[in-house]
Amino acid sequence: MDSGKKLELLAPAKNLECGIAAIHHGADAVYIGAPKFGAREAAGNSIGEIEKLAAEARIFGARTYVALNTILYDPELEEAERIIRQVYEAGADALIIQDMGILEMNLPPIALHASTQANNFTLGKIKFLEAVGFKRAVLARELSLDQIKAISEQSAIELEAFVHGSLCVSLSGQCFMSYAIGGRSANRGACAQPCRKEYTLTDTSGKVIIQNKYLLSLKDLDQSKSISELAAAGVRSFKIEGRLKDIDYVKNSTAYYREELDRILEEKPEFTPASYGKTTFFFKPDPAKTFHRGATEYFLHGRKERVAGLDSPKSTGEELGKVTRLNLDSFQLSGNQPIANNDGLTFVARNGVSAGLKVNRVENDIIYPDRMNGLFIGAVVSRNYDHAFQMALGKKTAERKIPVRITLEETSEGFELQATGTDEMTATASYAVSMAKVPANNPIQSHENILRQLSKSGDTPFLVREIETCGNKKYFFTAQQLNELRRGLLDEILKLAVETTMTDLSDNQIENNSATRKPFSSAPNSIPFPSEPIHFENNITNRLAMQFYRRHGIEKPETGVEKRNITGRLQVMTTKHCLQHELGFCKRFGGEFPSDLAEPFFLQDGVNRFELEFDCRNCMMKIFKEVNKEK
């Protein structure tokens, strides 16, 4: 079922500074980590920072979502419940969670979003989440457009989808590789990212298939050209990954997707923005110019492309061209992209290893780097650091303003200014001043003076788009009088904008208001969990989560990996990324399995050995490890 026609751009915030930058660059909502228990352990924020961000967002009718999406242990439950209440009181609009034990707590009336870590991969699971009280589900990144459409048509829950940023190779919430290797749990926000390491792939006899490549390291997600299709399929919130990314990434990616979304809103009037204010950019956004591993749409349109970046897990940037001429200390490239001093370039050397160099100077299209570093004729060169672009990002890059219409009215005691928001914000405010009414000697000059003084909005979040003088140009006004009227009016409409955002309207859905502070309830029920039996992949690590699953019909829920002694063969990852397909071995997609290789295949990094199992029926790959680990 469609959950409304408002489209929300959701941007990440590592901290308050990044969050405010996201709002000013056009985000309709921002997600930020709670002080503790977020899936990015290094990106926690104080309650005070969350409160400041929520206040700034409210000015533009934007929302603030707080991530508290790790699994919890029993001794942490009381603290987590206290933080949730503090987050609500700080003005957050929703809580993003994975641990179902949270639904057993005495929660404040805050909306709940099911984190992608909750494994929101099937229609049955998402309908269950809706039934137990979640307002929104963050969809698994692996879903296709057809799958998303089917979910939307058969559920009423809001749907949020990642459209940009780093990809976890595993189904979210289903990766135990980091924990199995070194005790750092991804579901506890402490992933060591073993998927970004080099591996050698061998067959069952030990024969090397491919050596020292980043076989599990995926390219970055980029679905910017499919936003319209996603909206048509039922997605209402478009999420940029990056709660560990710096402010330049936030500015650039948010601005880029704001422009993309605005184009869709202009072309398709059936959709409307989820917040208000028009954003002006003072640079040209380009995601390839900040952290970028190459682009993939992943499986949005089915399994059509190779999705891994085998040569490097680092930022590859934008492709510039091939080396056409090589000198002792310089080279030339095909293509016509301007290259500047201090640019950082990267290429794959003849040995298959990613290499880099820095541009010292450019003369007549000849590039002089700090070192040649194995560069060769025909090498494809990319730029992963654009010095001029980075300098531009350090300056003022955006301005977000709410258009208003001002009317100057005469009162019995003096004059009153009235302001009405245009476009999405329709609040009306007024401000009156008692003053003498002095006839103007020159009404034309008086009119010009009124327009000039009342059109100034300075560093306020407003843009005066229209001014109606209502015949009052016949009076003389000093600049001081007009400034007092204007400042007082803009203060009033700012207060009203915030109050409007906080209004408790009749519905808590995106389509009806840009304030999500309506009291929200997730009263316990006994809706059956959609599958049996319940296994450790559901990450049950506390008594409240155990209580939740029992109440929903699971007689013997299995404790999560982090709270069990593990001995023997453990499934450490489930992924839709398939190395048989990546290497051209998959017959279903026109490949040919080499006759001289025998399964099972193994991944090895010199210390650890992982066995691969190809579930061709479900088009998935599973990874196993022999472990002996005590809780």
* Residue range 407-438, pLDDT digits in tens: 999 999 999 999 987 766 767 889 999 999 99
Cα distances (Å, whole numbers) of residue 185 to 248, 539, 614: 29, 11, 24
Q: What pLDDT does residue 533 have?
A: 56
Between 286 and 521, the more confident residue is 286
Q: Across residues 278-289, what is the average pLDDT?
A: 95
Residue 509: pLDDT band by 50, 70, 90 thresholds?
very low
CA–CA dist 183, 487 (Å, integer): 58
Kind plus residue range of the DSSP H or E element containing 164 = strand 158-165
pLDDT by residue (tens digit) across 326-344?
999 999 999 889 999 999 9
User: Among 33-37, 513-517, 526-530, where is mean pLDDT lowest?
Assistant: 513-517
Residue 121 φ then ψ, to 5°: -110, -20
| Rg of the Cα atoms in the chain | 28
Residue 577 φ then ψ, to 5°: -70, 125
Q: Across residues 580-594, what is the average pLDDT?
A: 94
Q: What residue has token string 């002095």?
A: 438
pLDDT at 631 over 70: no
pLDDT by residue (tens digit) across 349-362?
998 889 999 999 99
Task: Check the CA dihedral 596-600-605-607 and report its sign.
Answer: negative
pLDDT by residue (tens digit) across 141-161?
999 999 999 999 999 999 999
Residue 627: pLDDT band by 50, 70, 90 thresholds?
confident
pLDDT by residue (tens digit) across 452-486?
999 999 889 999 989 999 999 999 999 999 999 99
* Single-letter code of the amino acid located at 313: P
pLDDT at 505 over 50: no
Residue 521: pLDDT band by 50, 70, 90 thresholds?
low
Longest Cα–Cα distance in the chain:
100
Q: What pLDDT does residue 512 have?
A: 32
Residue 38: pLDDT band by 50, 70, 90 thresholds?
confident
Q: What pLDDT does residue 560 have?
A: 92
Q: What pLDDT does residue 511 have?
A: 36
Contacts with 385 (C-beta within 8 Å, 6 or more apart), sequence order: 317, 342, 343, 344
DSSP codes, 392-427: HHTS--EEEEEEEEEEEEE-SSEEEEEEEE-TT---
Q: What pLDDT does residue 381 have?
A: 97
pLDDT at 39 over 90: no
Q: Are 549 and 557 in contact (CB under 8 A)?
A: yes
pLDDT at 172 over 70: yes
Cα distances (Å, whole numbers) of residue 322 to 10, 126, 331, 335, 344: 37, 47, 10, 8, 16
The two domains 6-167+219-274+283-289 and 317-393 share their CATH topology (first three levels equal): no
pLDDT by residue (tens digit) across 237-260?
999 999 999 999 999 999 999 999
Query: In which order are the strands placed within the sheet that holds 602-604?
Result: 208-213, 199-202, 602-604, 609-615, 620-629, 566-575
Q: What pLDDT does residue 556 have?
A: 85
Q: Across residues 219-232, what is the average pLDDT?
A: 97
Q: What pLDDT does residue 458 have?
A: 86
Q: What pLDDT does residue 327 have?
A: 95
pLDDT at 494 over 90: no
CATH entry 3.40.50.300 includes domain 317-393 = no
CA–CA dist 180, 325 (Å, integer): 48
Among 429, 437, 428, which residue's Cα sits nearest to residue 472? Answer: 437
pLDDT at 79 over 90: yes
Among 424, 370, 366, 417, which residue's Cα sits nearest to residue 400? Answer: 424
Q: Across residues 277-294, what is the average pLDDT?
A: 94
Residue 514: pLDDT band by 50, 70, 90 thresholds?
very low
Q: How high does pLDDT run on average in the chain?
A: 91
Strands 94-97 and 63-67: parallel
Among 402, 425, 405, which residue's Cα sits nearest to residue 466? Answer: 405
pLDDT by residue (tens digit) across 286-311?
999 999 899 999 999 999 889 999 99
Q: What pLDDT does residue 524 have?
A: 76
Residue 238 φ then ψ, to 5°: -110, 115
User: Among 32-46, 65-79, 283-297, 515-529, where is mean pLDDT lowest?
Assistant: 515-529
CATH entry 3.40.50.11270 includes domain 6-167+219-274+283-289 = no
Q: What residue has token string 């453990």?
A: 570
Enumerate the domain spans of the chain: 6-167+219-274+283-289, 176-215+569-631, 317-393, 401-502
Q: What residue has token string 């650091």?
A: 385
Q: What pLDDT does residue 522 have?
A: 62
